[in-house]
Amino acid sequence: MGDYHFVYKDVEGASTQWDDIQTKLGNLPPKPPAFKPPSFEPAPDQHSLPKDKSWVDNKTEEELEELEEDPDLDDDRFLEEYRKKRLAEMREATKLSRFGSVMLISGSDFVREVSQAPPDVWVVVILYKEGFPECGVLMECLEELARKYPATKFVKIISTDCIPNYPDRNLPTLLVYNNSAVKANHVGLRSFGRRCTPEGVALVLCQSDPVLNDGQGGSDPSRKNVIDGVRRSFIEKVVAQHEDDDDGSSSD
């Protein structure tokens, strides 16, 4: 039968009286303090935290929708109203920022993407073909306008995919749709002045209807405000180009 040796060890950091004497005499290094686990603190209950506007502001759109069933908000009329306001703002922002580029569609997409677009959405359609310089010029203008007015829907479609046998001499052609109806059509670059610029295209599009919407004016933007903004942008660009020309000539 083998010998069994048991070693008893104190809690880490504990010391005997003999160790204490040796430590005082300098024969042993000071002992580290005895280990003491941190006191337990339960995590705060999220449901018990006070709810205020910042609590609502930190919620996502999906979380705000789920809070409709929160019994705590039934007793807090202010927070419930604020929840509804924030949710409406988020939904509006999502709606207004859903575009922002010129989307390519096919003939089979036309009805869904253009004719059946929501009544509050203006749709600008360019009929084009690759390899036509005039189409490229107008497309660049539309790309800039699409970024600036993300609440207006811009789409592009090969002309003969949209209208069979559509004559190339009419390219590019712009169609403006709203509430399932054609509101305007512009054939060729001559419709946009001697030089086709984003500002010139914007002015033509907004001649009689609030086609362009940057999302800042709600669902019924003022056509005059958009036109005034386009004119200011046009003037600023002309002034900047003039200053660049002056700088270039003075350096020669």
Phi/psi class of residue 201: alpha, beta or left (left: φ > 0; alpha: ψ in -120 to 50)? alpha
Question: Quick check: bond before 119 cis, omega within 30?
Answer: no
- Distance CA(84)–CA(184), nearest Å, equals 38
Same domain, yes or no, for 220 and 180?
yes
Same domain, yes or no, for 83 and 197?
no
Mean pLDDT of 227-249: 58
Mean pLDDT of 8-28: 61
Same domain, yes or no, for 133 and 231?
yes
Mean pLDDT of the chain: 76
Is a pLDDT exceeding 50 seen at residue 21?
yes
Same domain, yes or no, for 124 and 164?
yes
Same domain, yes or no, for 232 and 143?
yes
The answer to whether residue 28 sits within a structural domain is: no
Same domain, yes or no, for 129 and 70?
no
Same domain, yes or no, for 215 and 106?
yes
Instruction: Name 174's bridge partners.
Output: 126, 186
Range of the domain at 135: 102-239
- Name the one residue in this structure whose structure tokens are 């190339």: 168
pLDDT number for residue 46: 47
pLDDT number for residue 25: 72
Same domain, yes or no, for 92 and 107?
no
pLDDT number for residue 228: 63
Q: What is the pTM of this model?
A: 0.56
Per-residue CA distances from 32 to 28, 29, 252 (Å) = 12, 9, 79
Q: pLDDT band at residue 216, thresholds of 50, 70 and 90?
A: low
Same domain, yes or no, for 235 and 112?
yes
DSSP state of 50: P
Is a pLDDT exceeding 70 seen at residue 197?
yes
pLDDT digits (tens, 9 = 90+) for 127-182: 999 999 999 999 999 999 999 999 899 999 999 999 999 999 999 999 999 999 99
Same domain, yes or no, for 72 and 171?
no
